[in-house]
Amino acid sequence: MDKSAAAQGFAAMGSEARMDVLNCLIRAGDEGLTVGEIQERTGIAPSTLAHHLKFLAGAELVRQTRQGRSVGCRADYDRLRELADYILTECCADAADIQEVQNG
């Protein structure tokens, strides 16, 4: 994952409402929820929810599929794992360098 894609993904999670939506979908599992179910669980107004889902889907954190007259949504776990891996890739890298210098 490149820095630009990572920044887009993290930016998509950059509001409490979008985090609520994403957490709701993560808790729902692979089956996901309809937009109506997300609205019921989060209490977010329908027009506002549509905006947040569009933002999350644009960053590929949420997948949407048409289910008859409803739209189904589910968290994209692969994409979320990529973001987690991206941010943790450099974990403790400097600490190892410092340790080598100290043990020199």
Tell me the CATH number at 9: 1.10.10.10
Number of domains within the chain: 1
How does pLDDT run across 63-88, given as a tens digit for each residue?
A: 999 988 999 999 999 999 999 999 99
How far, rounded to the nearest angstrom, does the alpha carbon of residue 33 sit from its chain's CA centroid? 15
**Which domain covers residue 86, as residue numbers?**
3-103
Please give the DSSP secondary-structure letter assigned to residue 34.
E
User: pLDDT for 16-42, tens place per residue?
Assistant: 999 999 999 999 999 999 999 999 999
Distance CA 54, CA 8 (A): 13
Pull the structure tokens for residue 6. 């990572």
The strand pair at 62-67 and 33-34 is best described as unpaired
Rounded mean pLDDT of the chain?
91
In the prediction, which pLDDT does 21 show?
Answer: 98
Tabulate helix, strand, coil % of the chain (nearest 5): 65, 15, 20
Burial class (CB in 10 A: 0-12, 13-18, 19+), 86: middle
What's the predicted TM-score (pTM) here? 0.83
User: Tokens standing for 65?
Assistant: 């599929």
Separation between Cα atoms, residue 99 and residue 87, nearest integer Å: 22
